[in-house]
Structure 1
Amino acid sequence: MPRIEPLNDPYAPEVQASFDRVMRGAPPLALFRTLAVSERAWARFRAGSLLDKGPLSLREREIVIDRTSALNGCEYEWGVHVALFAEAAGLTPQEVAATAAGEVTADWSPAERALLAAVDGLHARSTLSQAEFEALRVHFDDEQMLEIILLCGFYRTVSYLANALDLPLEAGAARFPAAA
Structure 2
Amino acid sequence: MEFDVTIEIPKGGRNKYEVDHETGKVYLDRYLYTSMGYPADYGYIDNTLGEDGDPLDAMVLLPESVFPGIIVRARIVGMFTMSDEAGGDDKLLCVPAGDVRWDHIQDITDVSEYELGPIAHFFEHYKDLEPGKEVQPGGWVGKDQAEKIAQEAVERLEKHPEETNEPSRG
| TM-score normalised over the length of structure 1 | 0.28
Say which structure, 1 or 2, has more relative contact order (CA 8 Å, 6+ apart): 1
Between Structure 1 and Structure 2, which shows a larger proportion of helix residues? 1
**Structure 2 length-normalised TM:** 0.29
